[in-house]
Chains A and B, each alone.
Chain A
Amino acid sequence: MADNLPVIEVSKLSKRYPGASNFAIKDLNLKINPGEVYGFLGPNGAGKSTTIRLLMNFIQPTSGGGKIAGRDIVTESVAIKRQVGYLAGDVELYPKMTGHQFLRYLSELQPPKRASYQQELAKIFQANLSRRIDTLSKGNRQKIGLIQALMHEPEVLILDEPTGGLDPLMQEAFYELVKSTKAKGTTFFISSHNLAEVQKMCDRVGFIRDGQLISEVTIADLSKTAVQTFDVTFAAEAPLLELKKLKHTQVTSNSPSHVSVHIRGDLSPLFTVLAHHGVLSLDSRGINLEEEFLRFYKGSKR
């Protein structure tokens, strides 16, 4: 795989299901670079899973196409899958098999590079592989789903809602694993509803609505342009006039001495104002990716 070429490249990809009047995906263009963790965000029915199923050649494009690792997603799908790990949104496993049997089956279909890696993953996720899958909770089935996607150490990982059902501890374990796997050069394409996890894991985020990519932004850029909220308690009356004069700022007065300041971009003007007044407390709510996300879906422009 050439370092300078996108690992995943999608061009004018469209999908209309038979009998449907609207396109599930319309003229989608994506470029995901080697070693990048790309978050694919959108509400239910936006086209996230359709995009993933097109990339995996489970469904056929109506028009347009794409490449993974330089190979065509339709005609070279088998070769692509030698380099791809996949996790479906609703993990469906063989209920009557144990975790061990299930992973052995998939290992026979695609032998892993290192036999020991499966055990390492099982340890990381504290997965019980001895029990029958139909006796496991959703979270434990999800762990097995993640292990099967990762165990052959693919160069590209396409994961649809990977942390669904995982408890917070396991979610953290997964984020750490993404970080260490990314460090080895693996590229991730992750669809998610969980905005906080996208913020933690991803380098870049694409927002999809009604089958169309409406915006792509790096997490770094998002941080620069996103609205941050500060709750400020002043020793005296809040300097509302001064705060309202600041650019890209909205101020909500909660009480005479307490305000919430929503500010986009550079924070230094805000702190200049605060420095001239007695401040008793200052709480930052951080970047609210969810607000950013909703802003896109409400159709507002950045």
Chain B
Amino acid sequence: MKPIIKWTVQARRLSILWWILGIIAYVVLELAFYPSIRDQAAELEKSFSSLSDSAIALFSDTGDFFSPVGYLSGQVFYLLMPMLLGILAIGAGASLVGREEREGTLELLLSRPISRSRLMAAKAVTGIFIIAVVGLVGGLATAVMSKLVDLPIPFGNIMLAGVASTVLAISFGSVAFMITMLGRSARVASVGLSSLVALAGYLLTSLASNVSWLSGPSKVFPFAYYHPAEILEGNYNWLNMLFIVGVIALCGVVSWIAFRRRDLISS
């Protein structure tokens, strides 16, 4: 397994570096404005109060953009961090095995004494590793920047919010990975369907606070169990995370069942 992880990471090292730089730049830009926004919070609050509840719910899980937790959740953890990490995760999930299969190099690896299960596991670990590195750097950058701009939120809570958004992103990536592992006809839909799972979960969860009948359907998506403001406040029920981890595990099991005996697609 180790050579596959090592060489896959090496092949993607530049892309990982750019993602790390991008996420740091994004966090720095978002939080650099906090001191001036904090100073004008009262006036800005008035302007934002004219927005509809649904519009506010799309950008914040607290409804409050200018408190320390509301700002950090709304600007970083509620939408943009999961979205950025989700793009990375879905891309990785769809390509880690999918690209090798499409380009014919998967047969080359499987011509060596490696079982499909081990190959799949190696690729999955690689994907989780890549997303975790970028996600944890994002969390760390947020925690450091928060300190620098005097956002009074515990360092540990910010790191935990980073971990939670990373796990959420991994769940989106695992959906893409699973669809890719099903084979040729499903593979073309992997990016689209996994993006749909991410986007639909976000929209339904956000709107469910104002449209009560959406609450039920939203519960089938991982996003419904992700509450970054609660994590930042330190009162998140981590049992919620079990659902997201369960989705990842389920995708892993389905991927394994589908891939272990299916025909590889010739390039």
Contacts and interface: CB of A to CB of B under 8 A. Distances in A.
Contact of A59 (B103, B111, B114, B264): B264
Nearest to A53: B266
A20 B239 CA distance: 48
Contacts of A92: 103-105, 107-108, 267
A73 B225 CA distance: 45
B46 interface: no
B113 A110 contact: yes
B7 A58 contact: no
A71 to B, nearest CB: 12
Given A88-B104, A92-B104, A109 B112 contact: yes
Given A59-B264, A92-B267, A94-B11, A108 B103 contact: no
Contacts of B264: 53, 58-59
Nearest to A15: B263
A17 B266 contact: no
B23 to A, nearest CB: 24
A81 B113 contact: yes
Contacts of B266: 49, 53, 58
Nearest to B109: A109
A84 interface: yes
Interface in B1-28: 2-4, 6-7, 11
Interface residues on B, range: 20 to 34
Contacts of A59: 263-264
A109 B107 contact: no
A78 interface: yes
Interface string A71-89: 0000001110110111010
Contacts of B111: 56, 81, 84-86
A173 interface: no
Contact of B113 (A18, A53, A79): A79
B67 interface: no
A248 interface: no
A59 B266 CA distance: 9
Interface string A92-132: 11101100000001101110000000000000000000000
Contacts of A257: none
B18 to A, nearest CB: 16
Nearest to B118: A78
A4 B203 CA distance: 68
Contact of A109 (B3, B103, B262, B263): B3
Contacts of B114: 78, 81, 109
B115 interface: yes
B105 A94 contact: yes
Nearest to B114: A109
B267 A93 contact: no
Interface centre among B108, B110, B113, B261 (most CB of A within 10 A): B108
B263 A60 contact: yes
A90 interface: yes
B39 to A, nearest CB: 50
Nearest to B2: A108
Contacts of B2: 108
Interface string B100-134: 00011101111111110000000000000000000
Nearest to B105: A92
Interface in A206-227: none
A58 B3 contact: no
Given A88-B104, A93-B105, A56 B110 contact: yes
Contacts of A60: 261-263
A58 B110 contact: yes
A162 to B, nearest CB: 14
A82 B105 contact: no
A263 B56 CA distance: 91
Nearest to A81: B113
Interface in A35-68: 49, 53, 56-60
A82 B3 contact: no
27 contacts: A49-B266, A56-B107, A56-B111, A58-B107, A58-B264, A58-B266, A59-B263, A60-B262, A60-B263, A77-B115, A78-B113, A81-B110, A81-B114, A85-B111, A88-B107, A88-B108, A92-B104, A92-B105, A92-B267, A93-B105, A94-B105, A96-B11, A108-B3, A109-B3, A109-B4, A109-B113, A148-B108
Given A60-B262, A82-B113, A105-B7, 9 more contacts: A53-B266, A56-B107, A58-B110, A59-B263, A59-B264, A60-B263, A81-B114, A85-B111, A106-B108
Q: Which 5 pairs across A and B sit closest by C-beta, in order of nearness?
A: A92-B104, A108-B3, A86-B111, A59-B263, A109-B112
